[in-house]
Structure 1
Amino acid sequence: ATNSGCKILEQGIYHNLLLQKIQLFEVLGPVQPVVAVAGEDVVLPCYLKPNISAVDLHVEWIRVQIDNPIVHLYRDHEDRNENQVPSYRGRTSLFPEELKKGNTSLKLYDVRSSDDGPYKCFTSLVSVAVGTQPVISNEGYKEGGISLVCESKGWYPQPQVVWMDSEGHSLPAGHTETQRDSMGLFTVRRRVIVQETETNRFTCRVLQQELNEMKETITNIPGELHIFSINKGGGGVVVRWHGGFSQCLLFCLLFVLLDAQF
């Protein structure tokens, strides 16, 4: 054997035992180091206990204690090795038929001395959840306009919340408030202050780009942006108009009727 081959024989390729409980199964590997000779192929064992299918799971092999440690990644029923350590390109594979039996072992081709070191096998459920249809609540007049609140529950991962006008343009809104329930699912909530428009129609859109899922709700609030307040004092009645002027005639008529009552 070459010197580099002897080095691997002496030091071995250390595949650490990973004992990780994931809901109803465990991920197991060998306690003793796996030994290989430079230039040969080697299998790094990893199994699920009980031997349930790993076809729908997330399987990740990493190299311990190095930057960008991904050696092999299986997700969404296919290999995703775009961010793999460059030196492993084209030299790793799982056993597709064995995944059904809970075998998540990694085959490493053409072993090199630089491969020497500890590895870990992570297997986990890829949890996703699509939330509820957004619910829009009207909080009334605040800060010079109408305050609308959009809320949606039961998302994972956390989605985005976007407010839009009737033409689909994004509106400036407050920060998105988030909460997580006992199942780890997200409830998202976001407020917006809206001004009078020709239609007074606004849309709340909740989207999760990773899942390619989107839900939206449209609200129409005709007339609700034309708000006034009445203060009665010793000097008479003071009426403050908080909306636009498109309904001025109606407002003036209402003012006359109110003034007559006072």
Structure 2
Amino acid sequence: MSARAHVRLLTADPDHPLLAAAAALLRADGHVVDSQHPDAPERPGAPDVCLLKARTPQALALAARLEERGVPVLNPVAATAFCQDRQRMADRALAAGLPFAPTRTAGLAELAERAVHEPVVVKSLHSRRGDLVAAVHDRAGARRLAERWPGEPVVVQPLARNDGWDHKLWAVDGRLFAERRRSELAAPAAVAREELPVAALPDGWAELVRAAGEAFGLQVYGVDVLDTADGPLIVDINAFPGIRGQQGAPEALAALATAVAAGRLPSGARAA
């Protein structure tokens, strides 16, 4: 067994399946695992590594204090914060040459007063649980959103023609996982999600995941991809997503935590 590591989970939900399974593996191997709720008083002591699952301002502040004390945080605070701002995310992705959806910041009231010449997707500027993601086809639709989400800062992206499925691609220290989920913007289908073997990904998609991780400095992350007539289109990049039901994901996360605790710098994503 490797030297015993102290791993801290920074999360409001330590029973999340991915975290709970990874923690069980770590404890079975003799490592120490504790959890820190982002709204609770800060735990004493410095762990060997912190897994930053929560992404609230309080969680980022706690993780930043650990980083200041020399504790490695996965994902780093700066990288996590970058992915919470969808405009900054899009700007960085496009600057890195990734096929990211064109994105602009707008106000819902402004959008409601202007003609909508083509369908668009409206998303909350700040990515968070329960945020706004909706398709807008006309000015009336924009007005309804403005009434339900008064004052919400948003970004606007063209509604790309696609097959109606979101391709969820995840990476944990280079190991890839994938599935298809029916888009919330598409008509319902007989099934809401489907397995997607990594080996069945179209050519170049695994490389897109690797490039996204390198561009944002992420080690545990997700990339949402649409399959369009013009090729793959990235519409979101998520720091430390849930990765539920993916065989091998808890093992990959546990191995990453112990390796970083032992002093190894995490690698960029690579196809499994």
Which bracket does the TM-score occupy, shorter chain normalised?
A: under 0.3
Q: Which has the higher contact order (CA 8 A, sep 6+)?
A: 2
Higher share of residues assigned strand? 1
* The structure with more radius of gyration: 1
